[in-house]
Amino acid sequence: MKPVHIHQPGEPSDPEPPDKLLDLASALTDPLVRQSGVTTTADGRWALYVTVPPDAAVPIVGVESQADGFPVVYEAEPDELPLARPAYPAAANEGI
């Protein structure tokens, strides 16, 4: 299976992610993982979020074993970085 290209998180079932999940996200190590963090699944469960190459086969055993029972959301790393521009270009030019 390949990672999703765009993950759509659901409404969180709890207002804050568990501290243990936050610790896991910051300590996660795997050669295929480009970024890690937390998100929610489509049904609102807090989950470990990782970006991996678009051609990676997921789930990744090493990541799943470190997730300690939390769901893992795999998202494909984009081919290109997003281009940041002002939300209102005309207003930015006017000094507003």
Q: Is 27 within a domain? A: yes
Q: Is 10 within a domain? A: no
Element (H, E) at 22: helix 19-27
User: Residues of the chain with pLDDT > 90: what percent?
Assistant: 71
* Tokens linked to 5: 């290209």
State residue 95's pLDDT score.
57
Range of the domain at 39: 19-93
State residue 83's pLDDT score.
74
The CATH number assigned to the domain holding 38 equals 3.30.300
Q: What percent helix, strand, coil does the chain show, rounded to 5?
A: 20, 20, 60
- Structure confidence by residue, pLDDT tens digits, 3-19: 988 889 999 989 999 99
Q: Is 5 within a domain? A: no
DSSP 4: B
> pLDDT category, 91, cuts 50, 70, 90?
low
Number of domains in the chain: 1
